[in-house]
Amino acid sequence: MDIIVIGAGIGGLTAAASLVRRGHRVRVYEQAQALGEIGAAVQMSANATKVLFDLGLRPTLEATGVKPLSFEFRRYNDGELLHEIKLGAAHAEKHGAPYYQIHRVDLHGALLDVLNALDPNALRLGMRAQQIRETGDHIEVAFADGSIERAELLIGADGIKSAVRQHVVDAEPPVFTGHVAWRLSIPVERIPETLRPPLASTIWCGPRNHAVMYYMRGGAMLNFVGCVERPWEEESWTARQPWSELDHDYAGWHPMVRAAIENADRDQCFRWALNNRKPAMTWSTPRVALLGDAVHPTLPYMAQGAAMAIEDAAVLARALDLDCPLPEALQRYTRHRAPRTARVVEESNEMADLYHIDNADEMRKAFKDRNIAASRNNWLYPYDPLHVDI
């Protein structure tokens, strides 16, 4: 099949590589003039790792990723352990693949290498999609440079501000959540050994604020994401903000949190607005399909946003193998993926409330009642995009 993918992020590249391997002719159009993923690190649980292994990325994950021993949920000031999810060997044995923490740049680069090895001419940069026209036998995309490209199928993997979504779902803008996110990358060598976090993904939970800390780049760098309730501001991963504001947001927090902040580069403190949408149940038309943030933008509070895009890509590629007309294949993809991703979106929203409880006793009770470990081990992590019945 002749396929166009709009967007060369993690989801778009995963979809493109999966489809080229199946013999499809794929062209990926990216609006950026130069390809270079930005942002924080990402976490890959077994449900996503299985897809990455299938694409040949095991060496990259082993070389640049970090395998945390657990998720730790701790009180922001005294470090009290509120809840724990075992990862490490336990996660791999139970769910069939390891759990990794990896810098988004490293994962994106590895996916790009896979696609280039399969088809070095698949990617075109500086191509902003503006208009989509769908007919009975093809799809046309008009780009900002005046060119028009035609294909049998269009895949929208162009993020939360997706142009393709407007053709499939609606043109409503995303909604600001009331939360913003700081992101920092700190060389571990700067932090005193006694103040370095354990080999875990640690969520520090506090009043109207929480912070996530974990290792990446083979353990050489510490990733810090701080999610604070603040007024609206720019939705941009490249917007720098004063270190003094970061310092104020985490005044009085645990010494491990303070050590990360105090050893960050003062001119490299990025902060962006967290936007959201209600989960959509419409993902496709007869010749257009959406995946990732274009259809289900997800708050980072379950560490599953990138993983869901990877799952989407793998299941969509498999759906196109089905012995049925294209519109039916896309509908089966939608019916299978929409409920699962909606649950992830909704539970991620709920985690925002849980992590930001003010009263310590209420927070303890909420974590006990929630039992996050049992929930995720029962339905989230066991999912296998490569073999699940669609």
Does residue 100 have an active-site annotation?
Answer: no
Q: State residue 239's pLDDT score.
A: 77
Asked whether the beta carbons of 35 and 322 are under 8 A apart, the reply is: no
Token digits of residue 182: 């700081």
The percentage of residues in the chain with a pLDDT greater than 90, rounded to a whole number, is 93
Contacts of 86 (CB under 8 A, 6+ apart): 69, 70, 373
Confidence band, pLDDT 50/70/90 cuts, at residue 36 = low
Q: What pLDDT, in 10s, does the model give residues 292-343?
A: 999 999 999 999 999 999 999 999 999 999 999 999 999 999 999 999 999 9
In the predicted model, what is the mean pLDDT of residues 177-197? 95
Q: State residue 233's pLDDT score.
A: 64
Pick the CATH number of 2-173+277-380 from 3.50.50.60, 3.60.20.10, 3.90.320.10, 3.40.50.300: 3.50.50.60
Helix axes 305-319, 46-54, angle to 10 degrees: 50
Closest CA to 216 of 10, 36, 38, 41: 41
End-to-end CA distance of the chain: 20
**Domain positions in the chain:** 2-173+277-380
Q: What pLDDT, in 10s, does the model give residues 41-59?
A: 999 999 999 999 999 999 9
Q: How many CB atoms are closer than 10 A to CB 58?
A: 15
Confidence band, pLDDT 50/70/90 cuts, at residue 377 = very high
The percentage of residues in the chain with a pLDDT greater than 70, rounded to a whole number, is 97
In the predicted model, what is the mean pLDDT of residues 244-257? 97
Q: State residue 40's pLDDT score.
A: 76
pLDDT at residue 95 tops 90: yes
In the predicted model, what is the mean pLDDT of residues 192-212? 97
pLDDT at residue 237 tops 60: no
Closest CA to 31 of 202, 201, 159, 167: 159
Q: State residue 38's pLDDT score.
A: 64
Give the separation between CA 234 and CA 58, rounded to whole angstroms: 36
Residue type (1 letter), 281: M
Active-site position among 214, 215, 333, 381: 214
Average pLDDT score, the chain: 95
Contacts of 237 (CB under 8 A, 6+ apart): 38, 39, 183, 270, 272
* Count, residues in the chain: 390
**Strands 100-103, 41-44: pairing kind:** antiparallel
Phi and psi of 120, rounded to 5°?
-70, -10
**Strands 153-156, 288-290: pairing kind:** parallel
Q: State residue 121's pLDDT score.
A: 96
Collapse the DSSP code of 352 into the 3-class scheme (helix H, G, I; strand E, B; otherwise coil) and give the result: helix
Q: State residue 34's pLDDT score.
A: 84
Q: What pLDDT, in 10s, does the model give residues 338-361?
A: 999 999 999 999 999 999 999 999
Give the separation between CA 184 and CA 213, rounded to whole angstroms: 10
Give the separation between CA 349 and CA 359, rounded to whole angstroms: 19
Q: CA triplet 121, 125, 127: central angle to 5 degrees?
A: 115
Closest CA to 181 of 60, 355, 63: 355
Asked whether the beta carbons of 224 and 260 are under 8 A apart, the reply is: yes
Confidence band, pLDDT 50/70/90 cuts, at residue 230 = confident
Q: State residue 234's pLDDT score.
A: 62
Q: In whole angstroms, how large is the CA radius of gyration of the chain?
A: 21
In the predicted model, what is the mean pLDDT of residues 233-257? 87
Poorest-pLDDT segment among 126-130, 212-216, 239-243, 284-288: 239-243
pLDDT at residue 6 tops 90: yes
Q: What pLDDT, in 10s, does the model give residues 137-178?
A: 999 999 999 999 999 999 999 999 999 999 999 999 999 999
Where do the H-state alpha helices sit in 55-95?
58-64, 88-95
Q: What pLDDT, in 10s, does the model give residues 256-297?
A: 999 999 999 999 999 989 999 988 999 999 999 999 999 999
